[in-house]
């Protein structure tokens, strides 16, 4: 099938106010894709914060109805995209050779449907809100023939480790269904402040997302929030810190970080959620000590599961080694 046949074809129309809007009919290639992810690609360079604002205001509509960012597109849907000025649009940054080589060297698994990459900390999974180049944009530059390349899920910019990227819409829908059904196994490594009590085997605390100044997201434990559950297992104890295995059963924003803070043992290097009484020797840490270590998932029409483990970044591995040597 040609690339043109895979694309949604825009029609320009006028709304009741006389503004010109784009009406796109969703094709098979984008079936099951989140509307926010679709718009970030379609409205290339427009800040992510503005796209979310357009959705919240009801200016983006599916079949003439308001929608939420996580709404999944279906074949035949009519998507309304409001007019937006080019002044807010920024070109995607060009991929530098160093990052290109790093990403190619850190593909942990790849077949005809999917790839799993060991994302470095500091690299966002996608661009927007002042970020001109994210993981997905970089991969599209590396492999421009991968026309349907999309993120299957997200991890925080400062978190390193496994990220699953799908090469076609069938695989994307399948893995998104698995995430929704909670059949994908994810294990993180987190270095936390203090000595984690062995009796705390899980944190079951609802999370609510809010925004503070300049659009910065902050997540808090709140009874009115969404149900959130993370299982924890101490892996190794150090002087003033504990290396933890964390297994989130839900996928809320900053879930592991906030649950660790809620348990009284914030993650080392987490400037947003670290408590003031953290051990002095760790307060100068700037890198978040959180790593998406393992992931296990199934693929369409394949019996065996894919299981991938991401090696620690050199900096985090060196930090753990220094803690061991100081004991």
Alpha-carbon dihedral 247, 253, 259, 265, rounded to 10 degrees: 100
The token duo for 127 is 């661009």
Q: How crowded is residue 95: how many other Cβ atoms within 10 Å of its Cβ?
A: 16
List 2's β-bridge partners, or say none.
none
Q: Please give the DSSP secondary-structure letter assigned to residue 205.
A: -
Q: How far apart are CA 22 and CA 42, in angstroms?
A: 11
CA angle, corner 118, sides to 203 and 158, nearest 5?
55
d(CA 14, CA 17): 8
Q: What is the dihedral of CA 43, 180, 121, 277, to 10 degrees?
A: 120
List all residues 6 or more positions away from 210 whose beta carbon is below 8 Å from its beta carbon.
217, 218, 219, 220
Spatial distance between the Cα atoms of 276 and 287, rounded to a whole number of angstroms:
17
Decide if 19 is catalytic: no
CB 313 within 8 A of CB 295: no
Do β-strands 107-110 and 114-119 pair in parallel, antiparallel, or remain unpaired?
antiparallel
| Residue in 36, 77, 145, 156 annotated catalytic | 156
Q: How many whole angstroms separate alpha carbon 285 and alpha carbon 46? A: 33
Give the torsion through C-alpha atoms of 123, 128, 130, 135, to 10 deg: 20
**Catalytic residue positions, numbered:** 156
């Amino acid at each position: 099938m040609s690339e043109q046949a895979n694309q949604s074809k825009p029609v320009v129309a006028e709304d009741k106010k006389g503004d010109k809007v784009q009406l796109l009919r969703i094709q098979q290639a984008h079936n099951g894709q989140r509307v926010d992810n679709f718009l970030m690609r379609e409205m290339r360079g427009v800040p992510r914060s503005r796209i979310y604002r357009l959705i919240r205001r009801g200016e983006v509509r599916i079949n003439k109805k308001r929608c939420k960012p996580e709404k999944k597109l279906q074949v035949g849907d009519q998507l309304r995209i409001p007019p937006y000025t080019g002044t807010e649009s920024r070109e995607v940054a060009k991929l530098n050779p160093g990052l290109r080589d790093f990403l190619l060297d850190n593909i942990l698994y790849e077949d005809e449907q999917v790839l799993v990459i060991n994302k470095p900390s500091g690299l966002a999974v996608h661009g927007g809100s002042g970020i001109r180049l994210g993981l997905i944009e970089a991969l599209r530059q590396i492999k421009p023939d991968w026309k349907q390349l999309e993120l299957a899920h997200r991890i925080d910019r400062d978190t390193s480790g496994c990220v699953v990227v799908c090469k076609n819409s069938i695989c994307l829908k399948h893995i998104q269904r698995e995430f929704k059904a909670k059949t994908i196994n994810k294990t993180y490594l987190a270095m936390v402040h203090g000595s984690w009590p062995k009796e705390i085997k899980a944190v079951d605390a609802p999370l609510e997302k809010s925004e503070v100044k300049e659009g910065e997201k902050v997540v808090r434990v709140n009874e009115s929030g969404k149900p959130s559950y993370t299982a924890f297992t101490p892996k190794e104890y150090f002087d003033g810190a504990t290396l933890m295995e964390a297994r989130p059963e839900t996928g809320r924003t900053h879930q592991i970080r906030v649950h660790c803070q809620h348990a009284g043992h914030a993650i080392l290097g987490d400037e947003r959620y670290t408590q003031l009484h953290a051990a002095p020797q760790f307060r100068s840490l700037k890198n978040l000590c959180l790593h998406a270590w393992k992931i296990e998932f199934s693929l369409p029409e394949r019996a065996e599961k894919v299981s991938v483990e991401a090696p620690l970044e050199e900096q985090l591995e060196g930090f753990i080694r220094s803690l061991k040597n100081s004991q």
